[in-house]
Structure 1
């Protein structure tokens, strides 16, 4: 057998391994799993029934169209206009994907060449590193630092080189919950235009902003033709297993991303696409109620974490809270999270898995609050034992 390494070091898989390890610990110990970001309840009943109806009517049971079913592409186009005033052509400027993760992978494979540089916020969703590496490009982290986790725009400018091809943005940001301000977006857009950079922006938590306002950077002057906007249904409608995501961009960019996407999954989630088309047309009261419910859950868990002795960095968006374990006399997030199920019967994730340089994220730990209120209340009760 070849002695060549079976795993490219750029694809170390540490994030996936830790998620699996923490979930296994939750199962073995009976701990409450606040590690991975998935809800413990389904989304709206009428949307689930819409999927059942599509299955029974034979909609999407065979291969759907490559770009996505027309009903969903039209609903995505209407969504962008309804919430952001962005006009996109459902036939040429929308692409349906197998979740946002596939959209990110296809965008990186389509838009990058070996040796290109990609600037991305660190800590970053773990698929970013893998997708950039698979494209043969080099990731350049722009580290978001506690306590505010705001991007240093001077540092961003300094990191742009002749090899920089693309900015990979994430707002609201996982795992820190940071939401870019209008001034920050304007400055980033100006740099993209000045240096003729492409921008790929991951906006899967667009409807989970508790403080501030979400605004797609594609809406800014000079950005429409250079931006690939990515979102998905999983976080907004609590059907993460359906894996329905999408890309909106100019026709040439969508065409490029689709060219790569067709060799990944080809197509996916046929019946679910029809259901998500209906979900995107839910009234404003759904989106507002969902956000308000998650805000209450954020505050409940944040208060409990503070009472347990953590330093809490209150997120502006997403459904994750980043904490600092040093007030508890701890400094190693991996060791802390591995011991937490036995100590307090709760599972969390060490933020270091989201950093290139693990030591930068060593004292930070992430908790998910997208759970039922009674589950969060019980988790808070258990975590209080850490305070002694």
Structure 2
């Protein structure tokens, strides 16, 4: 008979990879579990950026119709359904100032996140470096690390008066000299996000020109995350449109989920020159092969009909209206915020809110920065969920955001009003 030691595998065989083993409990789990446990119900969820309403009816009707088609219930081509690629090429060609080739300059991915993972996997290798701006979408980090690359961080500097008075998201600035100092021979890629999550900043043309010029000078790929590209309230420039030289090094990321209020559909795409796109598509093929067929078809219909339906302007105007409606409560309370130039998030500065010294925070919250405590407090005492933005920072720069909370305004108006009503309860803590 074999001995117990011989038949029992060593625990070391089941040791998780370092990329997941050392992770703290993520912000989404903390906020959602707190929301479930809160004594104030129902929770008004202003945290995660999902929409509180459906896509346009012509889009959902197209999704339902696609389910009745045999071909839409089978594998799509790995680079995407021809109809969707053409619809995207047609929709974006006017912005890019040229006719995009849907077969060579567009590839469809399973959401923008998987599209970015495909870009990282398509180009990054061990010891390559990637520059990110802080704050960053947290998924960037794990995606880059899975490719074996190292991250360098360039913090957006908040305005000095951010805790005193409301200011434009444009006032979060880039130190271009510091940015260039991060570049070295191992720098392979820079990730840009405009309109920016969570700041709401729309990078100006001059900022994009400076970033693009650096990338051309040093031969760096630009991965431009533009998933909020239809939600801008100031002039919006796409970095790939600035010059042919910059365009030749740029991959632009888009999202049907953000465009058409359907974050659960997971339909994304990348646009770029053929010599870059083909490697993104090659990585995507190995990651998930193809993306959801009926929802690709529905997204194509969304693009085909959006202009005639006046959808893009309507969407932008409605979201800007929601932003103004919601931020009225911060004006009432005298709480400054970063007035967004795009997207559907607002950063409010709660440094004037006094948390009770004897408040009983659970250990996994007590050990985190002040914004986690603020988030927990709002959930438990007011029944409003918001996201602590230090999750989107390195430890070195968390202090820049520890008094802010991120609120998502992509909700029905009655939800926004309920959130405002509850947030007025902060007066007694100020």
Bucket of the pairwise TM-score, normalised by the shorter protein = over 0.9
| CA deviation after TM superposition for structure 1 residue 4, in Å | 7.9
Q: 1:295 aligns with which of 320, 331, 335?
A: 320
| CA deviation after TM superposition for structure 1 residue 88, in Å | 1.9
Query: Residues of 1 paired with 2:416 and 2:262: CA distance?
Result: 20
Q: 1:75 aligns with which of 87, 95, 98?
A: 87
- Structure 2 gaps of 5+ residues are 1-10, 160-170, 356-368
Query: Residues of 2 paired with 1:140 and 1:101: CA distance?
Result: 20
Equivalent in the alignment of 2:115? 103
Equivalent in the alignment of 1:157? 180
Equivalent in the alignment of 1:22? 31
SS at match of 1:242: coil
8 Å contact 2:19–2:145 — kept in the other structure? Answer: no
Q: 2:422 aligns with which of 375, 378, 382?
A: 382
Query: Residues of 2 paired with 1:10 and 1:138: CA distance?
Result: 16
Query: Residues of 2 paired with 1:245 and 1:113: CA distance?
Result: 24
8 Å contact 1:98–1:269 — kept in the other structure? Answer: yes
| CA deviation after TM superposition for structure 1 residue 363, in Å | 1.9
Q: For 1:239-318, what aligned pairs fall within 5 Å after superposition?
A: 239-281=262-304, 282-283=306-307, 285-318=310-343
8 Å contact 2:389–2:404 — kept in the other structure? Answer: yes
Q: Say what the alpha-carbon RMSD is for the aligned residues.
A: 1.8
Query: Residues of 2 paired with 1:50 and 1:62: CA distance?
Result: 16
SS at match of 1:247: strand
Higher mean displacement: 80-89 or 260-269: 80-89
Query: Residues of 1 paired with 2:245 and 2:354: CA distance?
Result: 49
Query: Residues of 2 paired with 1:274 and 1:371: CA distance?
Result: 26
Q: 1:320 aligns with which of 332, 345, 358?
A: 345
TM-score with structure 2 setting the length: 0.86
SS at match of 1:140: strand
Equivalent in the alignment of 1:340? 378
SS at match of 1:59: helix
8 Å contact 2:129–2:152 — kept in the other structure? Answer: yes
Q: Is 1:370–2:370 an aligned residue pair?
A: no
Per-residue Cα deviation, 1:146-170 (whole angstroms, up to 9, x for no partner): 1322222222112111221111111
Instruction: Count the aligned residue pairs.
Output: 387
Per-residue Cα deviation, 1:212-268 (whole angstroms, up to 9, x for no partner): 324243542302221111111111110111110001111121111111111211112
Query: Residues of 1 paired with 2:131 and 2:99: CA distance?
Result: 28
8 Å contact 2:202–2:232 — kept in the other structure? Answer: yes
SS at match of 1:60: helix
Inter-CA distance 156–4: structure 2 relative to 1 (3 Å threshold):
farther
Equivalent in the alignment of 1:167? 190
Query: Residues of 1 paired with 2:26 and 2:117: CA distance?
Result: 19
Per-residue Cα deviation, 1:167-202 (whole angstroms, up to 9, x for no partner): 111111111011111111111111111111111110
- Structure 1 gaps of 5+ residues are none
Higher mean displacement: 277-286 or 236-245: 277-286
SS at match of 1:322: strand
| CA deviation after TM superposition for structure 1 residue 6, in Å | 2.2
Per-residue Cα deviation, 1:247-300 (whole angstroms, up to 9, x for no partner): 111112111111111121111210011111111121162100100000011111
Q: Is 1:8–2:18 an aligned residue pair?
A: yes
Q: 1:180 aligns with which of 203, 208, 213?
A: 203
TM-score with structure 1 setting the length: 0.95
Q: Is 1:93–2:133 an aligned residue pair?
A: no
Max Rg structure = 2
Equivalent in the alignment of 1:226? 249
8 Å contact 1:309–1:328 — kept in the other structure? Answer: no
